[in-house]
Amino acid sequence: MDEQKIIKKFIELSEGKLTAEDWKIWFSENAQNVEKICGRTSFLKIKIKDSNSDIQNVYYGQTAVSNWLKSKNIEVSLSEIYKKNYEKEFDDYCKAKDEKRKKLKKSVENKSGYLKEIYPKLLRQLTKSYDEYTKIEAGKSIDEIEFKENELSLKFSDELKVFFKNISVFEFEGVEINFNYLDKQLFGKKEYLILGEFWQYGDGDKLLFDIDNQNIFVFAHEYSPPKIIKQAQTITEFIEKTLVRHLKEYEE
């Protein structure tokens, strides 16, 4: 294909005479010739990208080819049809995303509204940060908690018992606390209760409960040497301050 045929097609695109499907098919059949004639830099701006919708590709393509035509001193009458379609698609996307967020907020309010009296800040932040990957399971009975204490040969603090009476599993981006997986482990010469993971300093950082004084720590294993870093005075402070601050980073 010679340059004049490519220029003709670019003019048709600039003037809004091609459908998104027309452009997609033509470009896929002529990509090599476009790169050869337009050069690598312009080609990368013009090329169809798999991550974009057809509407995005035809709009971005129109912008790129019209700029290339101008660089060749070829004037075109730029149609706004692709721009309007792109703006409508983006507006529809935003509306759908907002509707999804509202449904998720309603879902967390219905499912976890009982946390309002115990962890009001957590619940409030969850309504803003909750997504489809968040997992919260209701707490355990006092008998189950006492059985776990006996199994681990230790006593939970009152605040830790309150937490597990209300939440047995909490999963969010970079956070996992699971009652069923509680375990003890020595770090240095000190024994801690492993609550789960809190990826504060690196992927896989363990979340630790100090059995002696109830403080909450993270074992930052990627440090050299690894460090045990304090996060909160108590589990309640961790949930209502540290965890809420973490969730806020993912607020929609």
Euclidean distance between CA atoms 56 and 41, whole angstroms: 19
Which of 12, 152, 139, 35 shows the shortest CA–CA distance to 82? 12
CATH number of the domain encompassing residue 129: 3.40.1580.10
Please indicate, yes or no, whether residues 111 and 74 belong to a single structural domain of this protein: no
Tens place of pLDDT per residue across the chain (252 aa): 689 999 999 999 999 999 999 999 999 999 999 999 999 999 999 999 999 999 999 999 999 999 999 999 999 999 999 999 999 999 999 898 888 777 777 777 778 889 999 999 999 999 888 888 889 999 999 999 999 999 999 999 999 999 999 999 999 999 999 999 999 999 888 999 999 999 999 999 999 999 999 999 999 999 999 999 999 999 999 999 999 999 999 876
How many residues are listed for the chain in this entry?
252
Q: What is the pLDDT of residue 199?
A: 96
Tell whether 97 is covered by a domain. no
Q: What is the pLDDT of residue 115?
A: 92
Number of domains in the chain: 2
The domain in which residue 146 lies consists of 102-248
The DSSP secondary-structure symbol of 79 reads -
Tell whether 84 is covered by a domain. no
Q: What is the pLDDT of residue 1?
A: 63
DSSP 99-121: HHHHHHHHHHHHHHGGGGTT-HH
Helices (H), 113-205: 120-129, 142-152, 158-166
Tell whether 96 is covered by a domain. no
Please indicate, yes or no, whether residues 173 and 221 belong to a single structural domain of this protein: yes
**Taking the model in full, what pTM does it have?**
0.65
DSSP 191-241: EEEEEEEE-SSSTTPEEEEETTT--EEEEETTSSS-EEEEEESSHHHIIII
Q: How far is CA 95 from CA 16, 85, 91, in A?
A: 27, 15, 6
Tell whether 137 is covered by a domain. yes
Helices 3-14 and 54-71, packing angle to 10 deg = 120
